[in-house]
Structures are given as C-alpha cells and as structure tokens.
Amino acid sequence: MKGENTMSKVCFGCGAKMQCTNKEKPGYVKEEKFDTSEYCSRCYKMIHYGEYEKNIEPKSKKEIITTLNKNAKYVVFLVDFIDIFDEVINIFKSIKVPKTLVVSKSDIIPKNVSFDQIRAYLRKVYRIKEEIIFTSSKTNLNTFIKSLYGKSEIYFTGLTNAGKSTLINAIMDKYDSNRKRIATSYKENTTMDFLRVQIDNMTIIDSPGFVIENFELRKESNIISEIKPITYQNKEACTYKISNLFNVRVSNKSSIVFYFSKNLEIKRLYDKQIIGMSFKVSANSDIVICGLGFIKTTDEIEITVPQDLMKYINIRPSIVGGVHE
C-alpha cells in the first residue's frame, strides 16, 4: 500500500508524514492522491476551503524541546504580546541552544506601549538575556529577516497559534510570491511535525506549536488587529463579563484598563455577584487571563474570580506600567 513507507513523503502544509491508512491520524491522504498531492487532506481542506479538522495527536512539549535541544543550532521562539506569562517564558528558557525571543504579531501591540518598553520589561521581570526582536507577518518583517542573515538553519518554535507558519509564508513570499504555502489557521495545532523549507540559502524549520494547559480561551478569541485599551472608572463594586468566557468582580472603587481583542464584548454589571476566590492585586499589576488578554490595575484592588476560572489567572507587574532597564 502507498504511504506505508514512512520515509516517503511529508505534507508541505503541516509537516506530517503522509499516509493512506488511517484517516484519524496526521498526514492522511486518499491512496489515489498520494503520488500527486503535496498536502494531506486536512491541510488541503484548510488551505482551499478554510475548513478545519481537529487533529488528535499534538506533539508533546517534552518531545518538541528534546528535538530542539538535540538537533537545532539556532532557534527563534515566537511569543505574541498577549501570551507573555511565566509558563511560556519557562518553555523559552528550557531551550538550551542559541536562541532569540521574537515578539510576534507586533501589529496587535497597542500604540501606547513601545517595543523598547516591552523589551525592558522582558529583561527586568523575566530576566531574558537573549536578543529580543519584534516582528509581524504584516509589518516590521525586514528587521526580522535581516536578523536571520548568515544563519544557515533556523528552527521556528513557540506556542501554538503564535504565528510561526504565517511568518515563514511571509518570508517565502518576499523571495518568491508563487511558492506553495504552509497551512495556517486561527485554531490551535495546525502544524503537526517539523517541516523543512528552503528559502534562498537558508533552511527554515517550522515546528508544531507548544500546547499549554489553560489555553482553551484562546480558541474563542483570535486577536487580529491592534488592541485598543479601554479604561473603566468604577465608583462601586461591579462585575465584568468578558463575552461568555470570563467573569471577574472588582470589589472596590478603582480605575482599571482592559487589554483585549476588539471582538470580545465586555459588559459591566452591578448586580451580578460572584462566588469564588477573592484576593488582592497590587497597584500597577496585570491580571492576565491566559489566552485572552489582561486587565491593568492602577491602585490596589480586590477581585473575585469563580473557582473554575482561577486556572486562567496569572498576576504580573504591569507590562504597560513603565519598567526601566
């Protein structure tokens, strides 16, 4: 049967080994299409019809890190502005080969926050010593491409949805706009395996994104354009409802700023009580809601979060509050 020789063919969309035996596994393609198709059927549907089939086997964090530490000579780690929190930075730190931290989707960064400010913050709060570059597949691409000059082999890694494959497509476009494309999607786990592409004299290796726990909310909120901060002045206790995804009650008079995707609806309700965990958050902190965005405090506040939503919360010194190197 075709596709049984696992060395034979790799899907250009997701990097999975192409096979004709199991529809439920990555890389499946009908037997009659095996010789001619460059994409597995999942990627074909994604690229041509925007249809997304959930995969069943994302690569584990351990497997990806082991491969990088064993095989890579140079890694770029993409993190988007919304995903700067402990767990993600810890993954970056567990990569032990020369690496650069790339803040991707820089077009979504609110105008009131400068790249220098974020860079200083990453150095001071997260002790990042490596080079930090800002890029976007829509803008700021040239500085990033220049940073790759002289490197013959570069692994692109980062959380699922950080924009790795889109960025590689954008770089390929600069060299040859007619090239076939890697599959990309607003959903998680699009790239299934390591995928090598040759661009000019560089080999770029796309990789499956890291899937972290407590990232489910991201699925509902794809940030596609610049985040516009919204300030709320609270004269009394109130509850914020962020679409149907998150609720938080603020118990005291306060001024807070929301940094979320424009496609999320934020409602302020006065009569909705919350039963859950109450705790104080210091002045000038960010209440990060993993995968969604963050709320910046101005003064110390007390908040209440439903118990089952506590797992999404991460508190950090405010990234927009002005930290100096």
The binder of ligand GTP chosen from 17, 119, 164, 296 (CB under 6 A): 164
The partner in contact with residue 318, picked from ligand GTP, Mg ion, none with C-beta cut-offs of 5 to 8 angstroms by kind, is: none
Rounded least distance, CB 217 to ligand GTP, Å: 15
Closer residue to Mg ion, CB minimum distance, 189 or 239: 189
- Please, which of residues 221-260 interact with ligand GTP by CB under 6 A? 222, 224
Contact 172, 145 (CB under 8 A): no
The partner in contact with residue 6, picked from Mg ion, ligand GTP, none with C-beta cut-offs of 5 to 8 angstroms by kind, is: none
Q: Where are the beta strands (DSSP E) in 44-144?
A: 75-80, 99-104, 132-134
Nearest to 135 by CA among 125, 127, 145: 145
Closer residue to ligand GTP, CB minimum distance, 133 or 303: 133
Q: Which stretch binds Mg ion (CB under 5 A): 2-10, 88-96, 185-193, 222-230?
A: 185-193
In 81-115, which positions are buried (b, 16+ CB within 10 angstroms) versus exposed (e)?
Answer: bbbbbebbbebbeebeeebbbbbbbbbbbeeebee
Q: What's CA 204's distance to the chain center, in Å?
A: 19
The partner in contact with residue 160, picked from Mg ion, ligand GTP, none with C-beta cut-offs of 5 to 8 angstroms by kind, is: ligand GTP
Q: Which tokens sit at 200?
A: 């000019």
Site string for ligand GTP, 275-314 (x = CB under 6 A): ----------------------------------------
Helix pair angle (141-148, 164-175), 10° resolution: 80
Q: Which stretch binds ligand GTP (CB under 6 A): 22-30, 47-55, 181-189, 257-265?
A: 181-189
Nearest to 240 by CA among 251, 229, 228: 251
Closer residue to ligand GTP, CB minimum distance, 184 or 221: 184
Number of residues that bind ligand GTP (CB under 6 A): 25
Site string for ligand GTP, 96-135 (x = CB under 6 A): --------xx-xx---------------------------
Q: Which stretch binds Mg ion (CB under 5 A): 113-121, 164-172, 215-223, 295-303?
A: 164-172
The binder of Mg ion chosen from 190, 247, 297, 304 (CB under 5 A): 190
Q: What's CA 156's distance to the chain center, in Å?
A: 12
Q: Which stretch binds ligand GTP (CB under 6 A): 159-167, 240-248, 280-288, 300-308?
A: 159-167
Rounded least distance, CB 237 to ligand GTP, Å: 35
**DSSP code at position 317:** E
For position 163 contacting ligand GTP by CB under 6 A, the verdict is yes
Nearest to 212 by CA among 156, 158, 258, 260: 158
Contact 108, 223 (CB under 8 A): yes
Rounded least distance, CB 71 to Mg ion, Å: 18
For position 191 contacting ligand GTP by CB under 6 A, the verdict is yes
The partner in contact with residue 19, picked from ligand GTP, Mg ion, none with C-beta cut-offs of 5 to 8 angstroms by kind, is: none
Q: Which tokens sit at 129?
A: 């010593």
Q: How would DSSP label each residue in 137-180?
A: SSSSHHHHHHHHTT-SEEEEEEBTTSSHHHHHHHHHHHH-TTS-
Q: Is 149 left (phi over 0), alpha (psi -120 to 50) or beta?
A: beta
The binder of Mg ion chosen from 55, 191, 247, 285 (CB under 5 A): 191
Count CA atoms within 13 Å of residue 180 on its CB side.
15
**Which chain residues interact with Mg ion by CB under 5 A?**
164-165, 190-191
